[in-house]
Amino acid sequence: MNGGSWARRSVALYLLAWLMLGVLLAGLVNAGTGAGPAASLVFTLPLTLFYASACGFSAYYLCRAYPLGQRRLGAVLSVFFFSALSAAVLWCAAASAWASLCTLLMAEAVEVTRPFVAVMLGIGMLLYWMTAVAHYLVLEFERARRAETRELESRLLAQDAELRMLRTQIDPHFLFNSLNSISALTGIDPGRARDMTLQLAGFFRQTLGLEVHRKVALSDEVALLERFLAIEQVRFGPRLVFAHHVGEGASECLLPPMILQPLVENAVKHGIGQLLDGGTIAVLAERAGSLLRIRVENDIDPDEAGSHAGGKGIGLVNVRQRLAAAYGREGSVHWAREGDKFRVDLVLPAETKMSEK
């Protein structure tokens, strides 16, 4: 709801409440003065709406000028006592003038006596105080809502900063490993080292396009994995095989950029890199209703526990932290070693560009 609509509804509800008070006062006037129902309504309803406007503006600005948390209680009570008394006196004066005018215009009118004026004075002061209390409640509600909005914005900014920090951990880690590989190939096979350098440059050029997005489609993430593994295949050759299968409806699902790359990098370093005959890295993804399930699986040496199996490497820790920052409890990552396979399973909400609109 926008601010203009909310303000119009508030004014309408305020006037409706005062109209109901006017009808109630008309009943009291009818019972106390003996005036007819029509004369009582004609007398009280215009006066009530007039007083509603006077109380509304006066009490509102006084509530803004004398906030309860910043002014002494005695000063606030004194100001509102004299303000209510002044407003009630003016209301009684207006009532006397309106009663005189009604006497000239109508055959039957309300007679304003001293006891009647005293009662109106007390009712007027009470209504003014009630209006002031209502304004204080509204101002407190608005203050709490603004504080909640600022807190939410702060949390979003902190979350965005955390996500950026976690993403920046990946690039130096991957770059360090890749440069080590290039350095090792330089003395053995300069041609392959040059190919790997070119592939690395292309990979980072592609990642620059992803940096501007908070989330990317799974199809773009898989294409990035293919580019990354093309770099590694310069070093491993046919020992490294990559297979992937993306189920129907999963390719357009969104996820944090480069969330799978550290998992695949771990699979190369701690899995395929430790096998003489190499092995396969598989990425499987499927959409199950409101969830996106992704599995990264690779061959490992069954007789040697990989260092990433304990979940203490920077890749697995980074992925777990990024999922927690982006999705909270809705995202999770689990890993397990089963025989000659190491599996990492990710579960996150199945979001698409259409669902974000």
Q: Where in the chain are the domains? A: 3-150, 189-356
Question: Which residues, other chains included, contact 297 with Cβ-Cβ below 8 Å and sequence gap of 6+?
Answer: 267, 281, 282, 283, 284, 341, 342, 343, 344
DSSP 331: -
> Apex CA 84: angle with CA 83 and CA 90, to 5°?
90
What CATH number should be reported for the domain whose range is 189-356?
3.30.565.10
Cα 242–chain centre separation: 39
pLDDT by residue (tens digit) across 47-93? 888 888 888 888 888 888 888 777 788 888 888 899 889 988 988 88
Is residue 356 over pLDDT 90? no
Q: What is the secondary structure of 225-283 as a DSSP string? A: HHHHHHHHHHHHGGGEEEEEEE-TTTTT-EE-TTSSHHHHHHIIIIIGGG-TT-EEEEE
13 φ/ψ angles, rounded to the nearest 5 degrees: -65, -40
How large is the average pLDDT for residues 309-315? 55
pLDDT by residue (tens digit) across 114-147? 887 888 888 889 988 888 888 888 888 888 888 8
CA distance 100 to 36: 16
CA distance 46 to 260: 71
CA distance 5 to 2: 6
Is residue 241 over pLDDT 50? yes
CB atoms under 10 Å from CB of 190, counted, come to 10
DSSP 313: S
Q: Letter for the amino acid at 97?
A: A
How large is the average pLDDT for residues 322-332? 85
Of 340, 273, 344, nearest to 311 by C-alpha is 344
CA distance 275 to 138: 69
CA distance 54 to 95: 14
CA distance 235 to 239: 9
169-173, 215-219, 342-346: range with lowest mean pLDDT:
169-173
CA distance 259 to 318: 9
* Cβ contact 257:210 at 8 Å: yes
Specify the pLDDT at position 183. Answer: 83
pLDDT by residue (tens digit) across 184-203? 778 788 887 888 888 778 77
Specify the pLDDT at position 309. Answer: 46
Of 86, 80, 34, nearest to 60 by C-alpha is 80
CA distance 199 to 215: 24
Question: What predicted TM-score, i.e. pTM, was given to this entire model?
Answer: 0.53
CB atoms under 10 Å from CB of 65, counted, come to 10
Q: Are strands 332-338 and 291-299 parallel, antiparallel or unpaired?
A: unpaired
Specify the pLDDT at position 314. Answer: 67
Banded model confidence at residue 11, pLDDT cuts 50, 70, 90: confident
